[in-house]
């Protein structure tokens, strides 16, 4: 078995950035870095709470572009499915994060680091659902 995408330094750097961003947001704003909640707050804005959300999401997007410029990674990435399926998947994830009261970033990064039983259970549920979905789509539906 050959490991193709083993990038421990990039993963360590990225994880440190994500952890730092989550800690800074919690320390300075008292907010959990749950991306779905942050983005949802932009779609249904509270005028007093909008600016930091826009800056946070813009930072995620700009950070991806900067990483691509520095490393050249990502230039040949293509989606393996039609754009319609990506939109449908995004809507399903949005419904799921609403039902689960958060997303993998909020529960998986911030919740597990706080030893929250609810977040641990939610993250295990997210992961199991993802595994099952991929298995059904790739192996049963073809």
What is the structure's pLDDT at 48? 82
Q: Is residue 66 part of a domain?
A: yes
Q: Is residue 126 part of a domain?
A: yes
Looking at the structure of the chain, the number of domains it has is: 1
The range of the structural domain enclosing residue 70 comes to 8-140
What is the structure's pLDDT at 63? 87
Q: Is residue 69 part of a domain?
A: yes
Could you tell me the two tokens for 92?
């399903």
What is the structure's pLDDT at 40? 84
Q: What is the DSSP string of the chain?
A: ---SS--HHHHHHHHHHHHHHHHHHHHHH-----HHHHHHHHHS--GGGSHHHHHHHHHHHHHHHHHHHHH-TTTT---SS-HHHHHHHHHHHHHHHHHTTS-IIIIIIIIHHTT-HHHHHHHHHHHHHHHHHHHIIIII--
Q: Is residue 101 part of a domain?
A: yes
Q: Is residue 2 part of a domain?
A: no
Q: Is residue 1 part of a domain?
A: no
Q: Is residue 3 part of a domain?
A: no
What's this model's pTM, rounded to 2 decimal places?
A: 0.74
Q: Is residue 32 part of a domain?
A: yes
Contact 17, 25 (CB under 8 A): no
What is the structure's pLDDT at 96? 81
What is the structure's pLDDT at 58? 94
* pLDDT tens series, the chain, 142 aa: 566 777 888 889 888 988 898 999 999 988 888 888 888 888 887 778 889 999 999 998 998 888 888 887 766 777 778 889 889 988 888 888 888 788 888 888 888 888 999 999 988 988 898 899 889 988 898 7
What is the structure's pLDDT at 3? 63
């Amino acid at each position: 078995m050959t490991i193709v995408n083993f990038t421990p330094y990039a993963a360590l750097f990225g994880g440190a950035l994500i952890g730092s961003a989550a800690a800074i947001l919690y320390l300075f704003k008292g907010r959990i870095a749950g991306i779905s909640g942050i983005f949802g707050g932009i779609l249904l804005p509270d005028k007093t709470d909008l600016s930091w959300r826009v800056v946070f999401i813009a930072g995620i997007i700009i950070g991806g572009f900067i990483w691509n410029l520095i490393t050249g990674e990502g230039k040949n990435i293509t989606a393996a499915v039609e754009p319609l399926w990506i939109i449908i998947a995004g809507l399903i994830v949005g419904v799921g994060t609403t039902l689960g009261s958060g997303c993998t970033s909020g529960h998986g990064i911030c919740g597990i680091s706080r030893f929250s039983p609810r977040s641990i259970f939610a993250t295990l549920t997210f992961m199991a659902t993802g595994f099952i979905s991929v298995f059904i789509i790739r192996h049963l539906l073809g």
